[in-house]
Structure 1
Amino acid sequence: MEEDFEALLLSVQSGPLEDPPWSGLVARLRARLGCNFANLIFRRAGADPATGIEVHDASAPPAWLWDRYRERFASADPIPYFAMQPGRVYAYEELDGIAAKERDDFREDFLRAADFEHFLIFRVAEPGGCNIWVTVTRPAAAAPFGVDDRDLCARLAHMLVPALACYAALLARATETQVYRRAADLLSFGVVTLDAEGRIVGIDDAARRWIGGAGGLAVRGDRLLASESRVDLPARIAAALASGEGEAIHLGDADGIDLLLVPLAARADAGPRAVRLMLYLSGRRAPQRDYSAHVAALFGLSDTQARLAMLLANGFTLAEAAAEIGITEQTARTYSKDIYSRTGTARQGELIQRILTSVAVLD
């Protein structure tokens, strides 16, 4: 039995890294307790229930089961999830308000209809507001849950507290990463991460837009090369890693790509593929997303003027921008005067700052 519990404990610990989280634990717990159904619900306090995560493992539930729940009980689930005391294991009839019901439609028309006769549930909570509820059921033909079953669930509830805190921290870091990537994308920066040997660890979406293009950046195996430039990029990366000093590199004017190599300090707890160098890149290229409608509304420009303003803000010359949107250079010059006037700028550098730091590009 202790070997079984050790397997459950390993599932608790590895659960935050699974997709969906704790799916291994749910399956093992159902098998360990001889259940016909087990599920885990993850939800933040105050969040829309639809934004939660549910993982379940069942032995051939009726096909109509989830449709019935969504139609009749999703908005009126009688289980008082947030009123449950964290760490306590409840039978269904022990939940607040259940025993006082004259008729329990949820029990009769859902639980018993699905043969979820014997029922245990417990809640796990962490200080940041994340919660887990674990439910297990047995059919009417099986023995009710006993003291040992409750004790096992209580032990798991205790073990899940630090695991849930880790999962909440991972979610927070993932959200921060998305924000930083979004900010870098808005500023037309891409990021490539490399390890201590100069091998690629990751490439974000913004960086991929320049790799393989006219600027000559290319990936060969796990290395980043400047194939259309005289720059020996792997050698420059190796030098930056060896010296610990950052370096800015201009690859040429074909696509206006510039690089910044930023070595990171080594950490004693980092593995062999840990990120040791951040390679930031930017390039002059037509914007991947069209913010011209926002620019037009914000500065009172026509649609064509707004498109021209966006191209100028992304580093295009007047002639290049005119060709990109299909107008003559003279027309573009006339439009640019109105653009500078309406944005309160006098030259392209000021226009770049005015537009790229405005709310127009935040959508």
Structure 2
Amino acid sequence: MAFLSPDQRELFLPLIEGIHESPPWGAFMRNLVARTYARRAFLIVTLANAMSAQEPTVLHVAAPRAAQEPPLDFRRLDALRLHPFGALRPGRVYALDEMLDYDHPARLAEQRAALHDMGIRYGRWLRVSAGGAADAWLLLVREREDFSATAVSALAAIAPHLTAALRTLGALTEQRLQAAMAQAALARLGVGQLAFDAGGRVMAADPWAEALLAFTPEPGLAPGRRLQVLPDVARALDAACAALAAGPAGGTRVIRLDERSALDVLLRKSDLALAEPCAFPAVIGTLRREHREAAREAVRTLAAVHGLSDREAALAHAISMGETIVEAGRRLRLTSETARNYSKRIYAKTGAAGQADLVRMVLTGLTPFA
């Protein structure tokens, strides 16, 4: 089949652009339904590393003439025990008759009755597999007449492109998970980060930084944003970024972004290792607000890591929050003498050389991430 510009515009380009949609490939599915004159369709996407109980991503699409009809029930279809989806050969288009169980007349009658009840007389199944990283199943159905050879040919032709898009989606999903884990860990510490170019333009900001700061678009058509700060702060920030970008590795600067809230940003020359192609930042900015973990989770973590009792862990955490042994003991309904005895047991179990060393151990251990 010769691929004309409509194929590129309506099917292949939406496959590339649709990777970033949530759920993915909505425009592609709508265009595919229109091109094949399907009545209804669904796309099921499962990731190989998803939990067994996790629901697959299911995208339902209907032609305008079927907009009021209920979406295809993929669970009901699965319960019909048609040709097992996992056994479908990737890249091959299957007709409805190939999915039915002709070896068992009673089951065949049950399948036909259920399909008729769902308004499915003709259908095409397509499975694509991304090398063990993800799988997708595509179903198109019609009610009054079968799909044309042109429609089936178009469906077969998109199989390798959908496979490539699925492989890219799997890799992107893994990268999103890595980024989300890193951002969540920093947020638990009250830390936000930004990437600057040598001119002080903000290239990227994590969610915590977005919440703490205000931004203004870069003037003109240039990409990126600027921090919305006072003019003298903006000049200092731009100068610091330029100096760090031109300076040796390991350089740092601190800029007070807001005097009223005492919000500072630590700037350091970027040493990120990024794969090409990428836009390398010149400077990384780090913000931090006072933020401590919930006491209940912290106590559990301290007890588990150091073998402390609940009372001992609660006292250790209170000390790390800045309370004195006596103050913490009083809040925990301990006498001063009992609190001091507890502290000695804490030092012995943790190996801390004293109160300051205990605080260091708590703050540099797993407790802040509880």
TM exceeding 0.5: yes
- How far residue 320 of structure 1 moved from its aligned partner, in angstroms, is 12
Partner-residue secondary structure (3-state), 2:89 = coil
- How far residue 225 of structure 1 moved from its aligned partner, in angstroms, is 5.3
How high is the TM-score relative to the length of structure 2?
0.75
Change in Cα spacing, 1:286 to 1:88, as seen in structure 2 (3 Å) is closer
Please list every run of 5 or more consecutive structure 1 residues that lacks an aligned counterpart in the other structure. 212-217
Counterpart residue number, 2:92: 88
The alignment covers a number of residue pairs equal to 341
Counterpart residue number, 1:125: 129
1:298-337 mapped onto 2 (5 Å cutoff): 298=304, 299-302=307-310, 306-307=313-314, 309-310=316-317, 312-313=319-320, 316-318=321-323, 334=340, 336-337=343-344
Change in Cα spacing, 1:163 to 1:208, as seen in structure 2 (3 Å) is closer
Partner-residue secondary structure (3-state), 2:117 = coil
Mapped contact 1:224–1:234 kept (Cα < 8 A) = no
Counterpart residue number, 2:182: 180
Q: Aligned partners of 1:181, 1:232: CA distance in 2, in Å?
A: 27
Mapped contact 1:191–1:280 kept (Cα < 8 A) = yes
- How far residue 223 of structure 1 moved from its aligned partner, in angstroms, is 1.3
Q: Aligned partners of 1:194, 1:162: CA distance in 2, in Å?
A: 33
Mapped contact 1:119–1:138 kept (Cα < 8 A) = yes
AA paired with 2:101?
I
1:1-363 mapped onto 2 (5 Å cutoff): 2-6=4-8, 7-45=10-48, 47=50, 48=52, 50-58=54-62, 59-60=66-67, 62-63=69-70, 66=73, 70=75, 77-95=81-99, 98-102=101-105, 103-104=107-108, 105-109=110-114, 111-139=115-143, 141=144, 143-186=145-188, 189-207=191-209, 211=212, 218-219=213-214, 221=216, 222-223=226-227, 232-243=236-247, 245-249=249-253, 259-264=266-271, 269-270=277-278, 275-282=281-288, 285-290=290-295, 291-295=297-301, 297-298=303-304, 299-302=307-310, 306-307=313-314, 309-310=316-317, 312-313=319-320, 316-318=321-323, 334=340, 336-348=343-355, 350-356=357-363, 358=365, 360=367, 363=370
Change in Cα spacing, 1:318 to 1:360, as seen in structure 2 (3 Å) is closer
- How far residue 152 of structure 1 moved from its aligned partner, in angstroms, is 0.8
The CA RMSD measured in Å over matched residues stands at: 4.1
Change in Cα spacing, 1:107 to 1:361, as seen in structure 2 (3 Å) is farther
Q: Aligned partners of 1:98, 1:148: CA distance in 2, in Å?
A: 27
- How far residue 301 of structure 1 moved from its aligned partner, in angstroms, is 4.0
Q: Aligned partners of 1:357, 1:114: CA distance in 2, in Å?
A: 59
String of CA shifts for 1:131-161, please: whole Å, max 9, x gaps.
111111111x2x2123222211110002222
- How far residue 261 of structure 1 moved from its aligned partner, in angstroms, is 1.6
String of CA shifts for 1:147-178, please: whole Å, max 9, x gaps.
22221111000222221221111111111112
Please list every run of 5 or more consecutive structure 2 residues that lacks an aligned counterpart in the other structure. 217-225
How high is the TM-score relative to the length of structure 1?
0.76
Q: Aligned partners of 2:126, 2:137: CA distance in 1, in Å?
A: 6
Q: Aligned partners of 2:26, 2:344: CA distance in 1, in Å?
A: 61
Q: Aligned partners of 1:317, 1:257: CA distance in 2, in Å?
A: 22
Partner-residue secondary structure (3-state), 2:195 = strand
Mapped contact 2:60–2:71 kept (Cα < 8 A) = no
Change in Cα spacing, 1:62 to 1:157, as seen in structure 2 (3 Å) is same
Q: Aligned partners of 1:182, 1:248: CA distance in 2, in Å?
A: 25
Partner-residue secondary structure (3-state), 1:51 = coil
Mapped contact 2:254–2:264 kept (Cα < 8 A) = yes
Q: More displaced, 127-136 or 351-360?
A: 351-360
Change in Cα spacing, 1:349 to 1:199, as seen in structure 2 (3 Å) is farther
